[in-house]
Structure 1
Amino acid sequence: MSHASRLFSGTALALAMLCPAHSSSAQDRGVETIETSENGERVIIVTSERYVPQGRLTATKSDIPLVETPQSISVVSRDQIDLLNFIDAQQAVRYVAGATGENYGPDLRFDFIQIRGFPPKQFVDGLATPVTSTIYSNGIDLYAFESLEILKGPASVLYGSAPPGGIYNQTSRRPKSVFDGEISAMYGTDDYKQLGMTVTGPASDALDLRATVMIRDRGAERDFVDAQRIYAAPAATWHIGPDTRLTGLAYYQYDEVNGDTNGFLPAAGTLLDNPNSKLPRSVNLGEPDYNRYERKQWGAGFEFEQDLGPDMGLTVNGRYADYAEEQRVIYAAGFTDAAMDTVYRNSYPYQEDVTSLTIDGRFHGKFDTGGIEHNFLVGVDYRDVDNDAPFGFCSPFFCPSGASVPDPINIYDPQYGLPAGFVTPPLDTVFTDQTLKQTGLYAQDQIAIGGLRVLLSGRNDWVDRTSFGTDGKQDEFTWRAGVSYVTDAGVVPYVSYGTSFEPVLGVDIAGDPLKPTTGEQWEGGVKYDARGLGEGIDLLLTAALFDIRQENVTSAVYSPVSAPVGSTQSGEVKVQGGELEFVARIRNQLAINGSYSYTDTEVVASETPQEVGAALPVTPRHKASLLADYTFQRGSLAGFGFGAGVRYNSDGAGSLPGPFNPIVFETGEATLFDAMLHYDLPNWRLAINGSNIFDERYVARCADANNCNFGAGRQVIATATYRF
């Protein structure tokens, strides 16, 4: 038995022993299952107060309702996550307008997400995470969070450096003052095994505790790949006084992925025809006994809340986090001859270490001035990040002295094995060497006059960055203004304008630090919260049109495998589109999620002539989805439910064109179907969830002719959850 299997079995036994023998109050619980009888007939009602979101802090860092926020925001609540059995954040955006995920297929390490054409920055509890320099994700497991909130459009006015497409924020599970929790077990496709537990409750009148743990052991769609993950998060809230609370939040996550190449398949045989035949989705062209990815990350932080009166308060939260990953991978890199059955292979070791300290403090309050209501916010945040990332590289055409060149491999009959004495290339090239200190001062006021709402926000950031030994100081001002009108029927039209900035890694041709990219967005739309439709009907609908412009976009003039040096910044990008999204839950029986996105992206200007007029990568012009789930409440079928969904993505560009990538591959068009069955009792939930149930074969992305990824195939997972 492997170490991972022994650990998995031991954890299963430990969680079983911890299972309490009693039930408790469902106060402050998102989902509650109640069993009664009426006239001798069995009745089971499953309530879900958080399925349809009402308000979240991400959009305004305040208690302004979502329907009054003049900017698009989507909230995927824990109730939605559990019903649809989303495993990671990139799955969680399947039914969200304006956001796409799984662009590299079922990646076992990161969450690859695009929002309105741009990769978003990731935040946890409102604080920036220590993400890698190449991927804006740290891969913390979705089981850790109560919700995933996607703010679309510029967010710099409250969060500092961020791309113009938006950000996503995840809210950690918090302690409660009532005993509550769950134990869940999952098993599914590709030997997917997972055990999770979260339990919370009062340790005393002044102290609430929570512990969340999860362990996963799984295979993959690719042959000879396995992955393990361990997550643990303690949390405690100290009620210092009736108006003072201090919450401590910590987490640790360990990841190990063995045998994976993370794609790197040839276009001929996946997206395009190959005279020999199609490649199976399970093909692995790496070295299963050599390829390895390992990541360790942890964080410890706090949230301090002080009520200063009925309508005023102070909130300060902070976190120190450490992120370390290393990998060694052998991957396919182009056909050796015209036979198109054998490919060269490259060797690529990589290592990255990121540490970050983030602090955000804000004073918020409400007051009236002559019939005008103000909901204001004043805050300051600070970010200190240190990032180091070296790599090595070896190919048949370039290899450092002493390193070994991997042998070619037949893509239809791969034979694995490295020669004795195989030497990995040294980590002697710097990809990232930078420190960043960012201080931001921001203010916001929502002015209410009757049904009219005016939101004004402004912020100034001071950035001090050292990159490749070169110091650079930057001073950026961003702002947002929006107007909305709240009608008695719950229809809220709005219009807004916002700006963003984002520091860019690297130096230009002269060796000077690159300037930040800047962005701006106009957005107009309407929101509807169905307040007039009667009791038992919850609905939030958002329709929006937007126009985004980004300037100071870099154009690399050297090989893409080199460090990010020697760039120019004359690029400009335009993104225009429209979105429709709704989430509904009707009489505790019917849940509906639907969305449609039209996103038109274009490179308007670039020092790379081939890029002008091109569309941004992995952003389909059309995305549509619809899901419905129904639960019986009476009779012999009481508590039983079923649902089905359909998702469509149109073609999207796999990359931008350029001197090293003259051909752009259009990929990703697919129509996929999901289905679910579930049975709820007061303490138990049994479910089977299937995604892409007809197992449609499609290519999620081809970044170039030698770097294609299959989209996620059929996944079926059975879940048993005991709630107490």
Structure 2
Amino acid sequence: MQKGQIKLRSKVQLLCAGALIASCSGAAWAQNAIQSTSNETAVTSVGGEDVIIVTARNYVPEGSLTASKSDIPLIRTPQSVSVVTRDQIDLLNFIDAQQAVRYVSGVTGENYGPDLRYDFISVRGFTPRQFIDGLAAPVSTSIQSVGVDLYAFESFEVLKGPASVLYGSAPPGGIYNQVSRRASEDFGGEIQAKYGMYDYKSVSGTVTGAVTDDLAVRFTGLGLDRNAERRGVDSQRILASPTFTWKLGDRTEITGLGYYQYDEVNGDTNGFLPAVGTLLPNPLGQIDHRANFGEPDFNKFVRRQWAVGWDASHELAEGISLQSNAKFSRYHEESRVIYGGGGLGADNRTLGRFSFPYDEKVKSLAIDNRLAAKVDTGAISHNFLAGVDYRNVTNVSAFGFAVATPIDIFNPVYSTAPIVNPALSVPFSNIKLKQTGVYVQDQFGFGNLYILAGGRYDWVKIDDRNGGTETKQHKFTWRVGANYVFDNGFAPYIGYAKSFEPVIGTDSTTLAPFKPSSGRQVEGGIKYNVTAGDVKIFATAALFDIKQTNVVTTGTSIVPVFGTQTGAVKSSGGELELVARIREQLSINASYSYNDTEVTKDANPAAIGARLVTTPKHKASLFVDYTLQRGALGGLGFGAGARYSSSSAGSLPDAFNPTVLYGDASTTFDAIVHYDTPGWRLAVNASNLFDKRFVARCASLSNCTYGAGRQVIGTVTKKF
């Protein structure tokens, strides 16, 4: 083991011990306080018989701040929203955001298999923009994910379709927002340990409670040490997330939010396997799914990120309040990697490799201030919102590139020659972005009919310091929708929304500055929500049609973008989704998606008619979990699930990849066994239980990756 790894693992152990000490010391001064966690286990007596009841009161979502930046219930929101609550995350034992969307309609994850760095997610054919606590995350130039650990969050929320009216620049497929754990006046928390395949080890904990009558605090921490499916790869992570809520009188409340995360991956990155031997046959045999064609003793990825901010509100009068949230973030990733992307030789076993060091720094300031008001004007109720938000982002990155020594894919031998490590001599991005948006939204209520309407105007200024150009773009977006909520819980709805994304650069044909890309969606469907005693169900059926124009027909990871702005794409389909919790005993997550995507205009005739990447036409999933409540086995539960995904395109056809490769269709099965007693939970969960082998994606003939194989993890949780 290298010295740096020993030092990092010591830090992980120290953080875990610190979280444990903090949790235990908190218990000493609040032994009789009420639990603040929503997932609780209690023993009651019914007819003289002990009955164990596991209460998960938030398993079925009812609201989402992401959808409207207000407390409008999901049943009254005329757009599809999926909320994966902390209760779902805990009971189904998801360990990252990609797993969290496994049973969500219209959303796919794990497009690059079990990546240890990022969360690769696609929504209705588009890569969504990531938000944390309602503010844009400081994502890098080419990867729309910062990879903050799922344990830091209370919920994972996906708003499907255009979201620009409330969030500014965003793709037409949607966004996802992760809501941080908050402090509670009631004392509570947990300590959790996991161990699983490939030496997966983690210790985590969260504790919350009141310090004074006006101040509540929470601390969440995690230490993770794991290996990967690929041989010679290990990863470590440290997460610390403090928060507090301070009440300044009866009308003012401030919540401070922060996180720090350190990641280190040693040995390799994911992907870059040749198609011949994975997706396509190789006369010499299939490539081992655990094969590593990098340099285990050289390859390294390090990421440091942190953010601090606030979420504050002040009540001006009854039903009228000022709200503000802000976040200052720093993100820095650096990597050096030898990867096998050079193509397979004529002997079907010699793989060309490259050396690719990379470094990127992102600074971000995001502020959102708004006025919220609930008023009645005669028979009409109003849920009104007006706000202004501002983003200031600086992104600087550079890379190096060189040819490295080849490797034998069936008998890899490492470090056969001096490892080439070129300097970071090629600037990739040096961009400063400023965006200001002003928005207004109102939901009008006429009895059981609710009409939601909103509009926004954005001003965007992008200074490309590498290219020496300055781009100024502005755009008006709007949305309107209606729901009718019947007394029996059914709510048909229809909505129309628009989106935009700024585009940097100049059209290579017209020589004019690019315009913002523009998207629009028409969506209609029906929602069903029932909460009757111990039966809770939320279901959605939706049909949608998305069109995006002003698409630049080139790889969008090139900064500034080079190409001509003549492209257009569409995405249409239908979705079914259900989440249910019945008698605190039976949990159901089910979904089905049909997604038909197409490039409708492109400067490259070969691309017209192509399907959008990583978007299967069909995705279906079902998970059912049942807990015994009576008898000697009371508290014992079992769950099983199945997931199907049809094949999806790995790339769009272009000059570099004229042939589009489709990943494998796959059917995988999940299972969980758990045992709950008051204060304790023991669980063993398995995903891809039968270890189905499939290729998740081939972005080119030299860039394929296997889907996530079998994963079995045991969890012990102590709640207090």
Question: Is residue 2:95 matched to residue 1:99?
Answer: no
Distance of 1:425 and 1:507 partners within structure 2: 31
Moved more, 450-459 or 328-337: 328-337
Instruction: Give the one of 348, 360, 364 matched to 1:356.
Output: 364
SS in 2 for 1:135: coil
Which digits, 9 at most, give the CA deviation of each residue in 1:174-196, with x for residues without a partner? Answer: 11111111110000011000010
Q: Distance in 1 between matches of 2:505 and 2:651?
A: 21
Indicate the SS of the match to 1:81.
helix
Q: Are 1:535 and 2:533 counterparts?
A: yes
Q: Show the counterpart of 1:64.
A: 72
Aligned-partner SS, 1:619: coil
Letter matched to residue 601 of structure 2: A
In structure 2, the partner of 1:401 is none
More displaced stretch, 94-103 vs 604-613:
604-613
CA contact (8 A) 2:646 2:666 kept: yes
- The residue that corresponds to 2:186 in the other structure is 178
Q: Partners of 1:463 and 1:12 in 2: how far apart?
A: 43
How far off its partner does 1:566 sit?
A: 2.5
Q: Answer with 21-30 or 134-143: which moved more.
A: 21-30
Residues 1:571 and 1:233: Cα distance change in structure 2 (over 3 Å): same
Q: What residue in structure 2 maps to residue 246 of structure 1?
A: 254
The equivalent residue for 2:526 is: 526
Amino acid at match of 2:139: V
After TM superposition, the structure 1 = structure 2 runs for residues 324-335 of structure 1, keeping only pairs within 5 Å, are 324-335=332-343
Query: 1:310 offset after TM fit, Å?
Result: 2.8
Q: Paired residue for 1:492? A: 491
CA distance in 1, matches of 2:319, 2:558: 54
The aligned counterpart of 2:547 is 549
Q: Is the 8 A contact 1:390 1:432 kept in 2?
A: yes
Deviation, 1:619, is 0.2
Show the counterpart of 2:177.
169
Q: From 572, 576, 580, give the equivalent of 1:580.
A: 576
What displacement does 1:604 show? 0.1
Residue of 603, 615, 638 corresponding to 1:607: 603
Deviation at 1:431, TM superposition (A): 1.7
Whole-angstrom distance in 2 between the partners of 1:549 and 1:237: 42
Contact 1:26–1:32 at 8 Å: present in 2 too? no
Aligned pairs for 1:554-565 (under 5 A) are 554-556=552-554, 563-565=559-561
Question: 1:42, 1:636 within 8 Å by CA — same for their partners in 2?
Answer: no
**3-state secondary structure, aligned to 2:219:** strand
Q: Is the 8 A contact 2:268 2:294 kept in 1?
A: yes
* Deviation of the 1:475 alpha carbon: 1.2
Q: What CA distance in whole angstroms lies between the structure 1 residues aligned with 2:167 and 2:14?
A: 42
Q: How does 1:7-406 map to 2 (within 5 A)?
A: 7-20=11-24, 23-26=31-34, 28-335=36-343, 337-395=345-403, 406=404
CA-CA distance at 1:563 after TM superposition: 4.7
* 3-state DSSP of counterpart to 1:662: coil
Cα gap change, 1:208 to 1:672, in 2 (>3 Å): same
Is 1:635 matched up with 2:631? yes
Deviation at 1:418, TM superposition (A): 5.2
1:200-251 CA-to-partner distances (Å, cap 9, x unmatched) read 1111111111111101000000010000110101111111111111111111
Deviations 1:440-478 (A, max 9, x none): 000001001111111000000011111232111111000
Q: Deviations over 1:277-335 (max 9, x none)?
A: 11111000011111111110111101111122331211100000000111111111244
Q: Which residue of 1 aligns with 2:10?
A: 6
Q: Deviations over 1:384-435 (max 9, x none)?
A: 011111111113xxxxxxxxxx211000000001534x44122122221211
Is the CA contact 2:402–2:420 (under 8 Å) kept in the aligned structure 1? no
3-state SS of paired residue (1:80): helix
Letter in 2 for 1:471: E
Per-residue CA distance 1:543-571 (angstroms, 9 max, x = gap) = 000000000111128xx996544311100
> Is the Cα–Cα contact under 8 Å of residues 503 and 561 in structure 2 kept in the other structure?
no
The residue type equivalent to 2:270 in the other structure is N
Q: In terms of mean alpha carbon deviation, does 656-665 or 695-704 score higher?
A: 656-665
Is contact 1:119–1:165 with CA below 8 Å preserved after alignment?
yes
Is contact 1:470-1:513 (8 Å) kept?
no
**2:343/2:701 contact within 8 Å kept:** no
Say whether the 8 Å CA contact 2:23–2:189 is kept in structure 1. no
Letter in 2 for 1:156: S
Instruction: Quote the residue 1:402 is aligned against.
Output: none
Q: CA deviation at 1:130?
A: 0.3
Q: Secondary structure at the match of 2:330?
A: strand
Cα deviations by residue, 1:474-528 (Å, 9 ceiling, x for unpaired) = 1100000001101100100000000000112444327764321100000000000
- The answer to whether the aligner puts 1:444 opposite 2:441 as a matched pair is yes
Aligned-pair RMSD on alpha carbons?
A: 1.5
The letter of the residue matching 2:84 is V
Q: Is the 8 A contact 1:556 1:564 kept in 2?
A: no
* 1:135 CA drift (Å): 1.1
Q: Please, which runs of 5 or more residues in structure 1 have no aligned partner?
A: 396-405
Q: Quick one: distance in 2 between partners of 1:544 and 1:581?
A: 9
Tell me the distance in 2 between the aligned counterparts of 1:198 and 1:239: 22
> Deviation per CA, 1:234-272, whole angstroms, max 9, x where unpaired?
111111111111111111110100111311001111111
Please give the per-residue CA displacement for 1:635-680, whole angstroms capped at 9, x wherever unaligned: 1111111100000000100110112101111114100100001111
Paired residues of 2:338 and 2:355 also in contact (CA < 8 A): yes
Q: Quote the Cα distance in structure 2 between the aligned partners of 1:56 and 1:562.
A: 35
Taking the aligned partners of 1:16 and 1:320, their CA distance within structure 2 comes to 29
2:9–2:236 contact (8 Å) kept in structure 1? no
Q: Is 1:721 matched with 2:720?
A: no
Answer yes or no: is 1:592 the counterpart of 2:588. Answer: yes
Q: Secondary structure at the match of 1:59?
A: helix
2:342·2:354 contact (CA, 8 Å) conserved in 1?
A: no
In 2, Cα distance between equivalents of 1:670 and 1:28: 40
Give 1:622's aligned amino acid.
Answer: H
Q: Which amino acid aligns with 2:122?
A: Q
SS in 2 for 1:530: strand
Match of 2:415 in 1: 417
- Supply the distance in 2 between the matched residues of 1:480 and 1:187 (Cα, whole angstroms): 47
Q: Could you tell which deviates more after superposition, 231-240 or 114-123?
A: 231-240
Residue identity matched to 1:540: F
Distance in 2 between residues matched to 1:53 and 1:255, nearest whole Å = 31
* Matched-pair contact (CA < 8 Å) for 1:511–1:566: no
Sequence identity (%): 56
Q: Which amino acid is 1:414 matched to?
A: P
In the aligned structure 1, how far is the partner of 2:396 from the partner of 2:163?
26
Task: Quote the offset at 1:116 in angstroms.
Answer: 0.2
User: TM (normalized to structure 1)?
Assistant: 0.96
Q: Distance in 2 between matches of 1:12 and 1:169?
A: 27
SS at match of 1:211: strand
State the distance in 2 between where 1:323 and 1:10 align: 24
TM-score, normalising length: structure 2: 0.96
| Structure 2 unaligned blocks of 5 or more | none
Q: Write the distance in 2 (CA, Å) between the matches of 1:311 and 1:565.
A: 47
Classify the secondary structure of the residue corresponding to 1:278: coil
